[in-house]
Chain A
């Protein structure tokens, strides 16, 4: 019977409703109880708290009426999660019902429900009944028990092993009932997901599953088929003719009316076909059988169509002749949702060949006149991609584009320009006549890509367009307001034009003008650097510049969406799964879901390796004609970057020189490294005298550099805008990142602090336990609590239990206190407990530093409460944000909570700016960029965010700080965050990090 709090009577009239229900639940008529329970469930669903009725509801379970029991169980499941202590009370009911002899439905119901109650303490009571249920005479109970094993595994893996449940599941694969087999397969799949492979596929298991397949429900078939695809029998283990037999037994599933069965069957067949070498009649006949069912998927619901089309795109990359004559099936219907139409376009491009291109172009032309602008633009783009794909159809494609341009519809013409740029790139000097039409039908050019493409065209064909200089001059007038992409295009185009038309018609003034704007008025370092390099090339050796800039460009091809064979194979193995819809290998997004605390380190290392591999590959790709590898260049620029940081940050050593902007210095330094001439300071002096063009030194070194950049830039015209320098700088950033990470972050050790004094009395008045403690990041980056316990009493201390109170940063102990643990009088012991952070809503944020975590330790001596201080740096997240994201978050701060601090000196180990950054990064305070602040001095920007568990980054708690180095070797720090306490915590942490000696 629930106890009623006397105060509750006064709360509201609702209370009486609950009280009334309680009466009804105790009614001796079944119908009355049933009605009451239904009301309770309805209230629960709309969000009213009916947990106070737990006991009266639980009492109702004493019935052999299944319907009433179902309702009680419904209620229990609902409260199991939020009030596990209550759910525990139902454990006897489960035990009883799971052994109910008369009714298999009740047994099944009990087994199903008890698995949903994730309370560790009651598991012992449930494992025994579960074991019995797995051998129940009724298949309904067995199939429910199979799934229950997967549930149990999630709560406690050890129990599953203790009771040998996995072996039992494997035995179930031979069960006579299809549903039992398929649920056992589902449970094994579920467990394999966490545990890795547990079932070794053998011929016997394979045939058991194949035998069960025809007896299964549609869902059961999918579990089995997916399992077969995931756990392939090694080809060596298959007897001759076995592959054909396996495939033949899967094929009937292609005729199933459930689309998911069809896709899963296709997946298994494709994987086993890989075992068959050569293009035999057998392979072809199987492929022919796959086509009609796949095409029929185009008549299913749009969501399923979408998945099917994404999958078919993979399937025809793998086996092109499965669907090669069926292009019409993928024509768009007027009512198709946009996401289906866009996918159909991709397939149409892939299936385009000389036989079907005419009907395809007619179709695309129709689409290009539809109402939806996005669809229209993609359709036009498709025409261009087909032109690039099929040499011999290019003429026809251009014709269609011609017709479309003549419609004079703005977005049509603009998209056509973008497409035509690529066509020019593929077929130079073939279709220039269309330029005239383009210009005539162009009313507005408001699309960034279209502008950039148009500028590219004018630059490329400048010698044949009479008013090219005027056109580009027009564009250049709004240079400063243009998007970066357009600015880059304009810079490139004017230089090309200048080299092509040489000194006539104002091209020289134009190029000077644009170079000046790019180098002096732009705050985009890439643009500036590129401007300087062009300027230097043009002034030092125009002939050479011409050779480099106007060199022949490699051709492009239409295979941007074609996947690499290994990736394709992996994706084909994932047909019908999310992975095959995103075209991403599951490892790239699934890993993250696993227990992040345990695997964080592995993940970090892996990611670092991926990055370094990628950058290596990228380097390998670019080897220019003179044999200079990009990798060498990167090395040099890295040095340059490093020096630059030193320059910037060791301002205290030498009085700062007044300089224009950080980026300008960078390029000076960059050039200075290669060049033997000392860096030039300009900006304060007249520009003409100080241009890098004037630097004549360097000779071959310099040319090598220029050569490299120019060449690197040329190969990918599609990437004109993301210049080589972009890549280089990006590369540099990553490289330096990688380095710091690879050295396994060196967290500054936090010294012990006495948190519990030996003279402090506990709850029972005993004293004598002294604790010194500190939260740390250990060498692997895991958050730990280092403790030193000393027994100052006269009796041994044992049976310790320790717990942290709920707190704002979600800190909790991961490990229990080690047992057995005994501390003899006067003995001291140190131990390290792993912690984790799980930021469910916890306590209030700290008002001022430090973060204090309330803790309690209960031991044989007494119960002690104390507080543990934590410094912010141990609570920070390893997540690094992209620059754009960070600046976006920062600029979106509605309320700035700024705090300032000056440190007169730093640790002697931090000798220069580089060391400063390294020290901060090692402690998860990441470098963002450097700039000149409002007062005109050079400052560094750094940011950090607290660990969020699964929640990602909490924008409210990001701290961005400006760090300036004072002439005395100290630092001035200004921290900004939306949450005032974060700024304070940050300052405290930085102060500690920068003054500590490691």
Chain B
């Protein structure tokens, strides 16, 4: 038995009061937000699941900044759909209002209603592509243009087409004086390393992001050094080939064609979008390895020796490296000594941060830190050692996986020449090293 649509969506403020809501099916009373309030706000939020049912009504909620977005449904709803929709909706609102929060909603009641109505009908998600929505639901700035009725008619048909078009993400008739397209290949490294240096989990999450400024309805074809493609066509390559585990595409990419020929072909949306994401499970050596030894842990003080080492080629440089090391909750009077970078104590996060602006490959830096303790010992002083070390960094012109864009072909019926630009960057993802 399949589920029905969502009954209603509520935007609640921090205290659980409704800021704005939309009842799609008229089957629940708005007093149910009080039940939500009782449950989520008054109980331990940590223990509340994102989905729960009370008296035949299922609540599915997320938290964004200082608001709760709560959707309720009866029966057996598709919860995965509901959550992906809530996040999609969040993205749309962020795009419209810059920031989705209490104040921005209160300032934009009318647009919020319009969006809620266009994005969902009778509890079923409809159009959530922000570029298409912007054609129809406009903010103050570009609204009231005077048009003749003939112009108006054309305009209206264009909009309605865009909304139901197979190419729903791109309206016709886009013009740019300079046809350019920018490609960013961004890889995030998720890493979990045990204290003795064993890599417990490593994973590369790649994203190909595009900024497209192309006129008309261009046909694009992207070539990567994808091992599966070469295997399929029986070709060999001199360079390195990459085996991507799981590739996901923006809806503009023709999935059937990719499945059949492994070719990435698409008509891009205009402006910025995420073309594809991929994942690699290859075992990766920690690009930046941090060791932390605690010395002289007594009733009155604690001392750290932190060693950071880069394990990538010496011609690459990691920028804006930040190393977060946790400290007991009640330390005071910090003293830091390091040959490179600056160290700060961040009391509200119970940690110290070692910032290194530029950290070249194949280097090793050291840092010593000392903290005092007050005479009355805080409870569970030991717990600091459970919080793993976290590292943030960015390495430009480098991908861990070795992925490369081999070509990006652009074809448009007007036959213009367009320039593709490609950049590579590797960043930390969920990058954690456990402490002793």
Interface membership of A226, Cβ < 8 A: yes
A229 to B78, CA, bound (A): 13
Nearest chain A CB to B200 CB, angstrom units: 6
A445 to B387, CA, bound (A): 28
A179 to B85, CA, bound (A): 17
A215 to B160, CA, bound (A): 17
Interface membership of A81, Cβ < 8 A: yes
Interface membership of B205, Cβ < 8 A: yes
Contact of B383 with A371 in the complex, beta carbons under 8 Å: yes
Which of A31, A148, A226, A951 meets B144, CB within 8 Å? A31
Known A226-B78, A296-B248; contact A102-B160, beta-carbon cutoff 8 A: no
Scoring A residues 292 to 321 as 1 if CB is less than 8 Å from chain B, else 0, what string do you get?
110110010111101110010000000000
A227 to B78, CA, bound (A): 12
A592 to B55, CA, bound (A): 10
Contact of A45 with B78 in the complex, beta carbons under 8 Å: no
Residues of chain B with a CB closer than 8 A to A229's CB? 2
Which residues from 153 to 183 on chain A have a C-beta closer than 8 Å to any C-beta of chain B?
A: 154, 177-180, 183
Residues of chain B with a CB closer than 8 A to A223's CB? 124
Nearest chain B CB to A924 CB, angstrom units: 21
Interface membership of A192, Cβ < 8 A: yes
One of B255-263, B290-298, B351-359, B406-414 contacting the partner: B255-263
Known A45-B20, A255-B247; contact A226-B121, beta-carbon cutoff 8 A: no
Contact of A333 with B247 in the complex, beta carbons under 8 Å: no
Residues of chain B with a CB closer than 8 A to A138's CB? 157, 160, 164
Residues of chain B with a CB closer than 8 A to A252's CB? 255-256, 258-259
Contact of A103 with B153 in the complex, beta carbons under 8 Å: yes
Contact of B80 with A307 in the complex, beta carbons under 8 Å: yes
Contact of A590 with B1 in the complex, beta carbons under 8 Å: yes
A64 to B279, CA, bound (A): 51
Contact of B164 with A190 in the complex, beta carbons under 8 Å: no
Which of B3, B136, B432 meets A105, CB within 8 Å? B136
Contact of A293 with B78 in the complex, beta carbons under 8 Å: no
Contact of B200 with A260 in the complex, beta carbons under 8 Å: no
Nearest-neighbor residue (CB-CB) of B44 within chain A: A338
Interface membership of B46, Cβ < 8 A: yes
Contact of A102 with B153 in the complex, beta carbons under 8 Å: yes
Interface membership of B399, Cβ < 8 A: no
Residues of chain B with a CB closer than 8 A to A577's CB? 2-3, 76-79
Interface membership of B98, Cβ < 8 A: no
A756 to B203, CA, bound (A): 81
Residues of chain B with a CB closer than 8 A to A328's CB? 200-201
One of A65-73, A388-396, A558-566, A913-921 contacting the partner: A65-73
Nearest-neighbor residue (CB-CB) of A372 within chain B: B46
Residues of chain B with a CB closer than 8 A to A579's CB? 76
Nearest chain B CB to A580 CB, angstrom units: 8
Residues of chain B with a CB closer than 8 A to A301's CB? 62, 83, 87
Residues of chain B with a CB closer than 8 A to A124's CB? none
Scoring B residues 3 to 40 as 1 if CB is less than 8 Å from chain A, else 0, what string do you get?
11100000000000000100101100000000000000
Nearest chain A CB to B33 CB, angstrom units: 13
Interface membership of A104, Cβ < 8 A: yes
Interface membership of B156, Cβ < 8 A: yes
Nearest chain A CB to B406 CB, angstrom units: 20
Nearest chain A CB to B316 CB, angstrom units: 25
Known A81-B26, A230-B1, A334-B387; contact A259-B80, beta-carbon cutoff 8 A: yes
Known A193-B75, A331-B192; contact A104-B84, beta-carbon cutoff 8 A: no
One of B110-118, B217-225, B234-242, B336-344 contacting the partner: B110-118
Residues of chain A with a CB closer than 8 A to B122's CB? 115, 147-148, 150-151, 190
Interface membership of B58, Cβ < 8 A: yes
Known A255-B249, A256-B249; contact A214-B255, beta-carbon cutoff 8 A: yes
Known A140-B160, A217-B168, A371-B383; contact A255-B255, beta-carbon cutoff 8 A: yes
Nearest chain A CB to B154 CB, angstrom units: 10
Contact of A222 with B50 in the complex, beta carbons under 8 Å: no
Which of A104, A581, A586 meets B160, CB within 8 Å? A104
Contact of A299 with B200 in the complex, beta carbons under 8 Å: no
Residues of chain B with a CB closer than 8 A to A139's CB? 160, 164
Interface membership of B166, Cβ < 8 A: yes
Interface membership of B143, Cβ < 8 A: yes
The contact size tier of chain A is: 35 or more
Residues of chain A with a CB closer than 8 A to B56's CB? 589, 592-593, 950
Residues of chain A with a CB closer than 8 A to B157's CB? 104, 138
Residues of chain B with a CB closer than 8 A to A348's CB? none
Tell me what chain A mostly uses at the interface: helix, strand, loop, or mixed. Answer: helix
Nearest chain A CB to B112 CB, angstrom units: 9
Contact of B79 with A307 in the complex, beta carbons under 8 Å: yes
Interface membership of B149, Cβ < 8 A: yes
A301 to B259, CA, bound (A): 27
Contact of A593 with B74 in the complex, beta carbons under 8 Å: yes
Known A304-B83, A337-B46; contact A366-B3, beta-carbon cutoff 8 A: no
One of B125-133, B302-310, B365-373, B416-424 contacting the partner: B125-133
Residues of chain B with a CB closer than 8 A to A66's CB? 156
Interface membership of A650, Cβ < 8 A: no
Which of A304, A329, A590 meets B84, CB within 8 Å? A304
Contact of B256 with A303 in the complex, beta carbons under 8 Å: no
Interface membership of B47, Cβ < 8 A: yes
Contact of B83 with A189 in the complex, beta carbons under 8 Å: no
Residues of chain A with a CB closer than 8 A to B85's CB? 219, 260
Nearest chain B CB to A356 CB, angstrom units: 12
Nearest-neighbor residue (CB-CB) of A45 within chain B: B109
Nearest chain A CB to B58 CB, angstrom units: 6
Contact of A333 with B121 in the complex, beta carbons under 8 Å: no
Contact of B125 with A338 in the complex, beta carbons under 8 Å: no
Interface membership of A757, Cβ < 8 A: no
Residues of chain A with a CB closer than 8 A to B152's CB? 64, 102-103
Scoring B residues 377 to 410 as 1 if CB is less than 8 Å from chain A, else 0, what string do you get?
0001001001110000000000000000000000
Interface membership of A38, Cβ < 8 A: yes
Nearest-neighbor residue (CB-CB) of A65 within chain B: B144
Nearest-neighbor residue (CB-CB) of A118 within chain B: B26
Contact of B51 with A257 in the complex, beta carbons under 8 Å: no
Best-buried of B60, B76, B201, B388 by chain A (most CB within 10 Å): B76
Known A292-B279, A366-B434; contact A260-B156, beta-carbon cutoff 8 A: no
A589 to B1, CA, bound (A): 11
Best-buried of B25, B83, B255 by chain A (most CB within 10 Å): B83
Residues of chain A with a CB closer than 8 A to B386's CB? 369-371
Contact of B163 with A140 in the complex, beta carbons under 8 Å: yes
Residues of chain A with a CB closer than 8 A to B203's CB? 299, 329
A366 to B387, CA, bound (A): 11
Nearest chain A CB to B2 CB, angstrom units: 5
Which residues from 80 to 103 on chain B have a C-beta closer than 8 Å to any C-beta of chain A?
A: 80-81, 83-85, 87
Residues of chain B with a CB closer than 8 A to A592's CB? 56
Interface membership of A882, Cβ < 8 A: no
Residues of chain B with a CB closer than 8 A to A70's CB? 114
Which of A154, A215, A329, A337 meets B166, CB within 8 Å? A215
Which of A118, A148, A259, A952 meets B55, CB within 8 Å? A952
Nearest-neighbor residue (CB-CB) of A249 within chain B: B256
10 example contacts (A-B, Cβ-Cβ < 8 A) are as follows: A42-B109, A183-B126, A192-B2, A193-B2, A219-B124, A259-B84, A260-B83, A260-B84, A590-B1, A593-B56
Chain B residues in the interface with A (C-beta under 8 A): 1-5, 20, 23, 25-26, 46-47, 49-51, 53, 55-56, 58, 60, 62, 73-81, 83-85, 87, 109-110, 113-114, 117, 121-122, 124-129, 136, 143-144, 149, 152-153, 156-157, 159-161, 163-164, 166, 168, 190, 192, 194, 200-201, 203, 205, 245-251, 254-256, 258-259, 274, 276-277, 279, 380, 383, 386-388, 430, 432, 434
Add 8 more A-B contacts to A38-B110, A218-B128 (CB < 8 A): A74-B110, A178-B166, A217-B129, A253-B255, A299-B205, A370-B386, A592-B56, A593-B75
Q: What 10 A-B pairs are tightest by C-beta distance, nearest first?
A: A292-B246, A252-B255, A576-B80, A260-B80, A303-B50, A139-B164, A140-B160, A219-B125, A257-B248, A104-B160
